[in-house]
Structure formats: structure tokens, C-alpha cells
Amino acid sequence: MGVHFGGVTLLNKVLFGPAGYPSDARGSVKRVFQILVDSGMTALEYAAVHGLRTSKAKAIMIGNLARESGVSMSLHAAYYISLASRTQRIRETSRERLRKALRFAPLMNVKRVVFHPGYLGGLTKEEAHIVIRDALRSVWETTDDIEGKAFLAPETAGKLSAYGSIDQIIRLCQDVEGCIPTIDWAHIYARCQGDFGEKHNYLKVLTRFENELGELFLKNMHFHVSGITFTEKGEAAHRPLGEEWGPDILPLLEVVRECGYNPTFISESTNPLQGALYAKYLHEELEKGST
């Protein structure tokens, strides 16, 4: 059974796409989707990382184009969300940014709202978890009248001081209705100080998510991939895929194929479309080798 987008049906399969509009689109939304279709892309993560500033009319146009093009949509909410901030005003504006993203998501045919929960705000890890958990429960409950509401998709964090370890993201998704994980493999690599990227590493993490979250995870697997540099504090900067920067994603794609997983791969490399094409190429080469 497939997922329908207008006249196009996406059978259960691995999807690939960039984070943000391709640079060649030059601001034209129609051209964005034409480039994606011409490139064989099947996903797009709308970048609202500096705030969701589009109008409702434009959001509807994006949603219509996505359906017509067979492009699966996600949305990355603002970077400056901080649900456990020391400042109450920042906590509330962070919640409201997520509420707005959930309200706009059905218009844009967005299935998940990706976000970083933020830093610990001087709290212990347990205190921060409770504050973030309660904030997300409030966000979900106060927007539950929206038809076709998207999932909230907290992301594994690259900085060691941020909320977003594998354990924390799993627990958050267990504790909050409507939460599914976004696994950023480059962030995990940075948190592990580069000691990550072999087949057994990927399999261990995926098995953990599958065992803890079950079908909800299996049916909504969402990955971020890129190269990355790091310091002792974790993530420093994103880099191109397939060059000298880790992590190597070929073992990940091997695990995906061998286990029959159907994730969406979103490239957050410095040239997102090029990165998505590279990931898609690796996947296709593995598929050829298995026939």
C-alpha cells in the first residue's frame, strides 16, 4: 500500500532529498519542485530555521506542488527553540514556534516538524527532560484540533551540552504523544568524537530505536546525513558528504537495505542537493549489486 501525493504514489521505499531549497531555484517555488523532480528527489525538508515566515497562501502552494510532484515534505523549525531556557519568555516563544509549525504543516503537506529541544538551561538532565516533556505535551494538546497534524520530530543533537542524546530522544518519544525521532547521524558521530560509522554502530543504534519505539519508529524513519567536523564539545560545522569528513554513510545504507528499512534521507551537507544525490547514488549501486 502506498502513500498518495496527488496523482503520484510513493510505494514504501527509501526517500532522498535536500534540507532547504536548491540554490539554483533562485527563489521560485515552482522551480524548486521542478529541480527536485528532474534530479530524482523524492523528499524535501523545508528550512524554517530562522523562523517560519511564509504566508498561508504560499504554504498552500508549497503543499500543492509537493503533492503534484510526489515529494514527501518535512519542516525544520527554528534553530533558536529552547524549551528549557532559563528565561520563561523564551520557553513560551519556543512553544509557540512549534505550535505555528504544526498549524502550517497540513497546508504544506508536511508530515513531521523537526526541531532541536535546546540546551539544558542550567538544569540537571532529569529536570530538563521534565521541562521539555511537559512543554511538548502542552504544544501537542493545544493544537490537537488540527486535521492532518504532523508529528513532532525532536532531533539527536551534535553538541554535548545540548539536550538530544540517543537516550534522551528515545525517552522523549516514549513520554510525549505525537513525538517521533529524527536521527542525525553526523551529530551522533560528533557526540562520539568520531568513534562511529561502521556497520555495527549503525545497526546498534537502529536496533535500539526499533526495540524502544516499535512500529511508530519503523513507519516514520527520518534521517539527517552530512559530513561534519567536531571538537571535544561536539559538533563544529557541517561538511560535504562523500569526501574526507565522517561519518561514512555507506555502511548505513547497507544496513537499511539488509534490514528492509524505508527511511527518508535528508542531506544537510554544505551542498544539500549534491549530498542527497550522493546518498541516492550509493543506495542505487547497492540495489544493483543485490540483483
Domain ranges of the chain: 12-289
Mean pLDDT, residues 80-91 taken together: 95
> What confidence category does residue 25 fall into, taking pLDDT thresholds of 50, 70 and 90?
confident
CA distances from 279 to 32, 219, 229 (A): 19, 20, 19
On the question of pLDDT at 14 being above 70, the answer is yes
Rounded to an integer, what distance in angstroms lies between the CA atom of residue 252 and that of residue 89? 40
pLDDT of residue 12: 67
pLDDT band at 291 (very low <50, low <70, confident <90, very high): low
Q: What is the mean pLDDT of residues 140-161?
A: 89
Name the pLDDT band for 8 (thresholds 50, 70, 90).
very low
Instruction: Examine the pLDDT at 9 and tell me if it is beyond 60.
Output: no
- Residue 1 predicted with pLDDT over 50: no
Peptide bond into 247 cis (omega under 30): yes
The CB-based long-range contact list for 90-94 (8 Å cut-off, 24+ gap) reads 91/131, 91/135, 94/118, 94/135
DSSP 181-195: -BEEHHHHHHHTTT-
What pLDDT is attached to residue 26?
79
> What DSSP element (H or E) covers 218?
helix 215-218
Calculate mean pLDDT across residues 119-148: 91
In whole numbers, what is the pLDDT of the chain averaged over residues? Answer: 92
Q: Which residue reads 504514489 in cell numbers?
A: 9
> In 116-250, which ranges are E strands?
151-154, 183-184, 222-225, 227-231, 234-239
How confident is the model at residue 128, as a pLDDT? 96
pLDDT value, residue 143: 86
Region of 108 (left: φ > 0; alpha: ψ -120 to 50; beta: rest) is alpha
Q: Cell numbers 556497520 label which residue?
A: 199
Q: What is d(CA 99, CA 128) in angstroms, rounded to the nearest whole number?
A: 20
Q: Does 41 have pLDDT greater than 90?
A: yes
Closest C-alpha to 86, from 131, 41, 51 = 131
pLDDT tens digits along 219-270: 999 999 999 999 999 999 999 998 899 999 999 999 999 999 999 999 999 9
Q: What is each CA distance from 66 to 21, 107, 169, in whole angstroms?
A: 13, 11, 29
Lowest mean pLDDT among 139-143, 163-167, 196-200: 139-143
Per-residue pLDDT at 2 exceeds 50: no
Q: How far apart are CA 15 and CA 36, in angstroms?
A: 12
Task: Compute the distance between CA of residue 155 and CA of residue 163 in angstroms, rounded to an integer.
Answer: 9
The pLDDT value recorded for residue 205 is 98
Rounded distance between C-alpha atoms, residue 209 and residue 87, angstroms: 32
Record: fold of 12-289? TIM Barrel (3.20.20)
> Grid coordinates in use for 13?
521505499
Q: What is the mean pLDDT of residues 194-216?
A: 97
